[in-house]
Amino acid sequence: MALDAAVVSSDPFSPPADSTLWRRDFLLGAATASYQIEGAVNEDGRLPSIWDTFSATPGKVLAGDTGALACDHYHRWESDFDLLSALNVDGYRLSIAWPRVMDEAGRPNRKGIDFYKRLVARLREKGLKVFVTLYHWDLPQYLEDRGGWLNRDIVYRFAQYADLMSRELEGQVDAWATLNEPWCSAFLGYGNGHHAPGLTNGRYATQAMHHLLLAHGRAVEVLRANDPGSLKGIVANVGKGSANTGSAADAHAAHLFEVQHNAWVLDPLLKKSYPQDLFELWPGTEPLVLEGDMETIGTPLDFLGINYYFRTNVKSDGAHGFTEVPLQGVERTQMGWEVYPDGLRDLLIGFNESYPSLPPIYITENGMASDDKVIDGRVNDEQRISFLKRHLAAVDSAIKAGVDVRGYFIWSLMDNFEWAYGYERRFGVIHVDYETQERTFKRSAELIAKFLEERNARA
């Protein structure tokens, strides 16, 4: 569906005068992830990851695309950081590629570590806040060969990795996130096979999730010991569910959608228990939980990262679950996802009410894909401009309703490898020509930079 012209204004990014976004202490940043932009998968001692394996498997990724080159950020990071500076953002969220910094025996790979040390040092030179994610899905393949997130031993391997990187970057990182979107790693990787490693078993998904969250808890303990001056947290993707009709059955279906999408992750972290409704939805999939596990998983957080993209409309399947019913006549992105900013506001307010121990929140990803093209040297991405403006307004509304949201990261800094969708779906505010690697500021980037320049001048 085309964007309604009514949502595009003549000044399409600057927020109202009373918006939180004008506050200098509200962090506005941009985000990326290692496998999606770096390329150089065989250089300087980097080992294969599960996404190297998965994307090289015919039929797994659209058009047979892989991350072998991606945005060639491994070689172009200095000029990419100049673009980041031109965007005038306050911070940058990046991830470290686990296969790039350790070998199979757990020994440090100095060339890989030094790459990230250079990145972090340059970001600090530029005065940017540095948010580092330890795991954004690129698990070393040798660990998957041993069972991956199904093998409890991975908890200790992840703690070892967290120990190495937090010692190497001590005092240089403002905020550490242990995991990005464990829901995707567990469900898409082990439940429905849409992501690497491509397994399809409900019990696998819940056991993988348990080990992911347990690894998170262990890593927080390590990070807290090694780098006490930084924030420690985790990033969860959340989704809004709506009922197809006013029936009790459909209302329960929408509830179950949010249980499996949100509470499956947030309840263990913030309540130290799994939601029992999850096992109504997926009977017989309870993970093996050992004594002390939930205490470790529930280790207090300094912040919670929230990634939000869309709403899902569902109806009861007549049994113990739900079926998606796409709404007609709604605005959608290139991904086919409904644009629904109110969902972000409602979820934030709901979490604030449901979790008394809710830590401060950063929106660590929010953005949209569109089929952007360079025409006469320009990229006019009006829908993205409107999308970002409306979602930032939703965040502002949540803050005014009492939710402690301290920042927002646009996904993404640049177009990149979009996992199972390859290079077709473009999320960046900077356009990347994948044949020439030329970067072009989209109109959204120009307006973001303009707003932030004005905000900074007011400070």
Residues acting as catalytic residues: 181, 365
Name the residue among 361, 348, 363 with its Cα closest to residue 404. Answer: 361
- DSSP state, 255? H
H or E element: which one contains 352? helix 341-354
**Crossing angle between the packed helical segments 153-168 and 110-125, to the nearest 10 degrees:** 50
The alpha carbon of residue 373 and the mean position of all alpha carbons in its chain are separated, in whole angstroms, by: 25
DSSP 396-433: HHHHHTT--EEEEEEE-SB----GGGTTSSB--SEEE-
Q: Residue-wise over 354-363: b if at least 16 C-beta within 10 A, else e?
A: ebeebbebbb
Distance CA 6, CA 255 (A): 33
Q: Which residues are annotated as a binding site?
A: 36, 136, 180, 309, 411, 418-419
**Dist CA 26 CA 307 (whole Å):** 17
Q: How far apart are CA 290 and CA 206, in angstroms?
A: 14
Angle, vertex CA 221, rays to CA 218 and CA 222, nearest 5: 90
Q: Is 170 helix (H, G, I), strand (E, B) or coil?
A: coil
Distance between CA atoms of residues 314 and 187, nearest Å: 18
Tokens of 416: 């990149």
Closest CA to 426 of 375, 381, 361: 381
Distance CA(259)–CA(237), nearest Å, equals 13
Exposure on the CB side of residue 311, measured as CA atoms within 13 A: 25
Enumerate the known binding-site residues for substrate: 36, 136, 180, 309, 411, 418-419
Q: How far apart are CA 20 and CA 395, in angstroms?
A: 9
Nearest to 52 by CA among 138, 130, 115, 128: 138
Please calculate the CA angle 90-96-97 and round it to the nearest 5 degrees: 150
CA-to-CA distance for 52 and 424, rounded, in angstroms? 18
Which among 99, 39, 98 has a CA at the least distance from the CA of 68? 39
